[in-house]
């Protein structure tokens, strides 16, 4: 895990500097996370398959999904979203996309507890994929520490 990756944290305002500083998310973390992007890319189908499989097993969430969208469309949206997350280009557009997700979820009546629960599913799967592909214990620890900061920041934005 040593290749240099292009990543950035470049927002129009300083609005999120305190949030980032609280969780200690830096560009060094983003470089570590981005190194896993090619691995994640190979697992996108199985990740979104497992994710929506679990959501559809919940009657309440199944109802919301079937009322507002289609599972094939949502699988594509999620895959795209994961790739963007692992691109680690944190600019104003990154923030605005998260605020749009928040708005969309609010409009369909998705309560924060379900979003947080679903996020846990996604996080566990991604960490499993990383565990299978990172050989060194030290590198795996660095990845988990960095990626959970990215996930945390994402949840802060979507639940704001």
Q: How far is the CB of 53 from ligand HEM (least distance, A)?
A: 13
> Which residue number, 19 or 97, has a Cβ lying nearer to ligand HEM?
97
Region from 19-27, 113-121, 132-140, 141-149 binding ligand HEM, contact rule CB under 6 A: 113-121
Q: How far is the CB of 17 from ligand HEM (least distance, A)?
A: 24
Q: Restricting to residues 52-111, name those near ligand HEM by CB under 6 A.
A: 55, 61, 64-65, 68-69, 74, 77-78, 81, 100-101, 104-105, 108, 110
Tokens (6 digits) for 88: 């680690």
How many Cα atoms sit within 13 Å of 17 on the Cβ side?
6
Task: State whether residue 34 is helix, strand or coil.
Answer: helix
Region from 10-18, 33-41, 88-96, 116-124 binding ligand HEM, contact rule CB under 6 A: 116-124
Integer Cα distance of 82 and 48 in angstroms: 10
Residue nearest to ligand HEM (CB): 118
> Which residue number, 30 or 65, has a Cβ lying nearer to ligand HEM?
65
> Which residue number, 92 or 100, has a Cβ lying nearer to ligand HEM?
100
> Which residue number, 118 or 142, has a Cβ lying nearer to ligand HEM?
118
Task: State whether residue 3 is helix, strand or coil.
Answer: coil
> Which residue number, 6 or 66, has a Cβ lying nearer to ligand HEM?
66
Integer Cα distance of 45 and 4 in angstroms: 27
Q: Which stretches within the chain are classed as H helix?
A: 17-23, 27-34, 37-42, 44-56, 59-68, 71-87, 92-107, 112-133, 137-159
**What does the DSSP assignment read for 50-70?**
HHHHHHHTSHHHHHHHHHH--
């Amino acid at each position: 895990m040593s290749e240099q990756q292009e990543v950035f944290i470049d927002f129009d305002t300083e609005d999120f500097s305190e949030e980032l500083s609280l969780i200690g998310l830096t560009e060094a973390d983003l470089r570590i996370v981005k190194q896993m992007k090619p691995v994640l890319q190979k697992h996108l189908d199985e990740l979104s398959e497992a994710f929506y499989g679990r959501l559809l097993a919940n009657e309440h969430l199944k109802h919301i999904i079937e009322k507002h969208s289609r599972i094939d469309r949502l699988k594509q949206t999620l895959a795209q979203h994961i790739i963007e997350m692992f691109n680690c280009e944190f600019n104003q557009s990154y923030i605005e996309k998260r605020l749009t997700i928040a708005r969309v979820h609010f409009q369909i009546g998705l309560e924060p507890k379900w979003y947080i629960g679903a996020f846990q599913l996604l996080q566990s799967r991604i960490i499993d994929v990383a565990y299978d592909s990172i050989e060194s214990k030290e590198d795996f620890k660095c990845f988990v520490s960095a990626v959970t900061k990215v996930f945390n920041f994402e949840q802060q934005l979507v639940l704001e």
